[in-house]
Amino acid sequence: MIQSRQTEPAKFPSDENLKHLRQKLRDGNFSLNALTDEERWYYYAYDYGFRRVKLRTRDDMLPTDLDHDWRDQRLAVMAEAFYSRKLGLPRPDLGPAGFKPEPTPEEVAHVERCVRQILGNIGRWDRRNRAVFAGPRPLLTPEEYQRELGVSATPSRWQNDDAVRDDAALLGLGEANVAD
């Protein structure tokens, strides 16, 4: 691993420093070899900082630095603050690494609505395209559709939620479906 610099000039991070690095890359036909090691540290810090602020993430997966050879956490935090001020966006405050909050009831309801719509679209497609198949084809249950598509849903949700069963019946799925 390449050693990080311990001190940086006062010009980092700044618009002037960023402009200088971009010009040097242009002059060097966009080859990173055009930059000194010191300049590369700053270049990658700008990349990490921009990604964090603009994408609101701290996963630090740069396609140009997959092994994190040029990641300096201290410089990246400075560049993150720079871009936060420059773009007028808040710095990502995403909690500890790997933290994933529990979904809200609204998010769960949205996903359930999407699943109902998908199941309805499959049933509609099956009815509209039945003539294409040679001979009669029995309707599949939602579980069979899930198995064929390689997706899964909680069976107890299907069995216990009257609204889901009613919606499925209205869309032509489940027990209420009669073959054409």
pLDDT in tens, 53-67: 988 887 778 888 888
CB 46, CB 79: distance < 8 Å: yes
Q: Does the model's pTM come out above 0.75?
A: no
**Residue 120 tokens, joined:** 């309805």
- For residue 106, give the H/E element and its range: helix 105-128
Q: How many residues does the chain have?
A: 180
**Is residue 16 pLDDT above 80, yes or no?**
yes
Residue type present at position 128: R
What is the radius of gyration, based on Cα positions, of the chain? 27
